[in-house]
Structure 1
Amino acid sequence: MYGGGNTFEKLQGTDLQNEDPQKLAEFEARIQRGEKIEPADWMPALYRKQLVRMIEQHGHSEIIGALPEGTWITRAPGFKRKLSLMAKVQDEVGHAQLLYAAAETLGKPREQMIDDLINGKSKYSNIFNYPAFTWADACTISWLVDAGAIVNQLANSRGSYGPYCRALERICAEESFHLKYGHHAVIHLATGTPKQREMMQAALNRWWGPLMHFFGPPDKMSVHSETLMRWKVKMASNDDMRQQFLDMYVPKIWELGLTIPDPLLRKNEETGKWDYTEPDWEEFKRVINGDGPLNKERLAVRRTAEERGKWVRDAMKKVAAKEYVTPLA
């Protein structure tokens, strides 16, 4: 996930200098032994800040990520597809609830996280700011975008912060079903009529660029510090995750007879890694910073949902405070 890295660089020098050296050494020794850090344990301020940033951005991505697929629930072909997609979207929103709960253990209230999202202060994944024009777009999200998310989430599920790791274990289990659902839907289109194959290929062409952006900027551009890797906040580099995704899914895409829209994409026999066209990182930065095709629309949907749900939250607060509301006539 991109965003907040510059803040990390500004904080790194001051925060670590202000920490108790003995406590910091004990903290790092625990992590090296493979122990999980729990909410009541001592942790460096920088560790807490970066975890809050990462976990809440992950939660925001689950919420916003449900929107492009959610628009296809009523238009999915056939009753079974509608039911399956509805269940998937419900799962994604549930994932956000798990992640917000994990972030709350670090001291940031959920209400503040939601406010930061709809006011544009907090970031979320770049890929959810693109339109899903056709049913094939929704299928591509369900298969390849979820596949990329699993690569990232499986890595971070081995991290050092207990509540986040436990949330990711459950999320990854559910995402594996989403992946199978998406793969099945893509196979149906890729092996269907010429019109279906054409639609599937067009969707892949549209989503390949955002998919290559999905894992974040290359390591040479990344603002993440080695400290985050040492503390097991971040478990794999952006380039490593991108290569893992290509290893796993390029052959599967080719098996379906689909063409990947990158003439330079090939496995380098000398390095064992994939060569590919360098993504447009300026576009990536624009989208992350709010200037993508649907940034404003996606946040507007969330803002409207927050406003419409305010009366429910207010009523619940009154009940909790024993201030009962007069029943409606």
Structure 2
Amino acid sequence: MYGGGNTFEGVKTDSIALEDPARLAEFEARIDRGEKIEPADWMPQLYRKQLIRMIEQHAHSEIIGALPEGTWITRAPGFKRKLALMAKVQDEVGHAQLLYSAAETLGKSREQMIQDLISGKSKYSNIFNYPAFTWADSCFISWLVDAGAIVNQLANAKGSYGPYCRALDRICAEESFHLKFGHHCVIYLATGTEKQRQMFQEAINRWWTPMMHFFGPADKISTHTEVLMKWKVKMSSNDDTRNQFLDMYVPKIWELGFTIPDPKLKKNAETGRWDYTEPDWEEFKRVINGDGPCNKERLEVRRIAEERGRWVREALRSPKAAYVTPLA
């Protein structure tokens, strides 16, 4: 469950000029022809660097994204929802493993990626640094956050780097089931008691700003979009992806009788795009750089999990063979 492209790190595009012109031209011609770039193929260092950053960030987002929903497994209403949410969280962790494997093909080890996450060097999606206070918050994540992720991932699955595209194909197939689960939970709340409807309305009010941040900074201030789209690492700009999400899901929210906490939100008849209040990008920047409501808590959970699992990894890597004493 990931929007994509949401970080404020800078890009030194002048490094492209240091590449071999003939190789760079052939590389770009291959991308223009719609060919996939594979791990053994030549690629510009900036392409490799941007892919590692983007895929690694996506993997971290899947791992951290499992945490706010994971807290609701034992408290989900009913045994069937507990089982479904448990399976969903397990899927999200599995998605992270697929993505770490894809990123490893570019030369960065999984161990280093995990260490960079725990240390705060690597980023992950802003939206997972907010608390899920109620079951309705978990429903918002399962329906609308996963919907936003699918919008982004379906586009990027048509991108230029083979291992990432193949991972996204599988991830999107599983995310479609997550989306159905979330929609079913929301419909139950929307057709329930007034208190249940109020719970989900309050969840929308809490999560709408992080949801608008989810697709990354506005194109006019994004530092990555141009080069990522040039090489088809990203297939849609942040603003276009955000607009597509609004196109698909704002009418569904309104149809259920809920309101969205943005008085400026409306479809512009002339442009065909949505007008909305410009998100607070300073809040976004602050959260993505470690100063959100749950940043420290989320990373501490990952640090503890890494420490507790160390003995298993060391046992698997041990060069000593295991012997079983035969029965007499």
State the TM-score bracket (shorter-chain normalisation). over 0.9
TM superposition shift of 1:4: 5.7
Aligned to 2:320, what secondary structure does the other structure show?
coil
Which residue number in structure 1 is paired with residue 202 of structure 2? 202
Quick check: 68-77 or 216-225, which moved more? 216-225
Q: What's the TM-score once normalised by structure 2's chain length?
A: 0.96
Q: Distance in 1 between matches of 2:95 and 2:287?
A: 23
Higher relative contact order (CA 8 A, sep 6+): 2
TM superposition shift of 1:325: 8.5
TM superposition shift of 1:322: 3.0
Please give the residue correspondences for 1:182-197 in structure 2 after superposition, counting only pairs within 5 Å.
Answer: 182-197=182-197
Q: Distance in 1 between matches of 2:183 and 2:233?
A: 30
- Please say if 1:308 is aligned against 2:315: no
User: What is the letter of the counterpart of residue 193 of structure 1?
Assistant: T
Identity %: 79
TM superposition shift of 1:91: 0.3
- Please say if 1:77 is aligned against 2:81: no
Which residue number in structure 1 is paired with residue 221 of structure 2? 221
Q: Distance in 2 between matches of 1:227 and 1:288?
A: 21
User: What is the letter of the counterpart of residue 298 of structure 2?
Assistant: R
Which residue number in structure 1 is paired with residue 7 of structure 2? 3
User: What is the letter of the counterpart of residue 254 of structure 1?
Assistant: W
User: What is the letter of the counterpart of residue 170 of structure 1?
Assistant: R
1:130-165 residue CA offsets vs partner (Å, 9 max, x unmatched): 000000000000000000000111111010000000
Q: Distance in 2 between matches of 1:227 and 1:135?
A: 40
Q: Distance in 2 between matches of 1:159 and 1:2?
A: 18
Please give the residue correspondences for 1:46-61 in structure 2 after superposition, counting only pairs within 5 Å.
Answer: 46-61=46-61
Which residue number in structure 2 is paired with residue 133 of structure 1? 133
Which residue number in structure 1 is paired with residue 251 of structure 2? 251
TM superposition shift of 1:228: 2.1
Aligned to 2:50, what secondary structure does the other structure show?
helix
- Please say if 1:99 is aligned against 2:94: no
TM superposition shift of 1:16: 1.4
User: What is the letter of the counterpart of residue 6 of structure 2?
Assistant: Y
Q: Distance in 2 between matches of 1:84 and 1:309?
A: 25
CA contact (8 A) 2:55 2:164 kept: yes
Which residue number in structure 2 is paired with residue 268 of structure 1? 268
Q: Distance in 2 between matches of 1:218 and 1:167?
A: 27
Aligned to 2:72, what secondary structure does the other structure show?
coil
User: What is the letter of the counterpart of residue 24 of structure 2?
Assistant: L
CA contact (8 A) 1:31 1:232 kept: yes
1:181-236 residue CA offsets vs partner (Å, 9 max, x unmatched): 00010010011001100101000110100000000111111112523212101111
CA contact (8 A) 1:315 1:325 kept: no
Quick one: which of 319, 322, 328 aligns to 2:320? 322
Q: What's the TM-score once normalised by structure 1's chain length?
A: 0.96
Q: Distance in 1 between matches of 2:82 and 2:231?
A: 42
Q: Distance in 2 between matches of 1:216 and 1:198?
A: 29
TM superposition shift of 1:240: 0.2
Q: Distance in 2 between matches of 1:112 and 1:240?
A: 33
Quick check: 223-232 or 207-216, which moved more? 223-232
How many residues are treated as equivalent by the alignment?
A: 321
Q: Distance in 2 between matches of 1:51 and 1:157?
A: 13
Structure 1: give runs of 5+ residues left out of the alignment: none
Which residue number in structure 2 is paired with residue 22 of structure 1? 22
User: What is the letter of the counterpart of residue 76 of structure 1?
Assistant: A
RMSD, matched Cα:
1.2
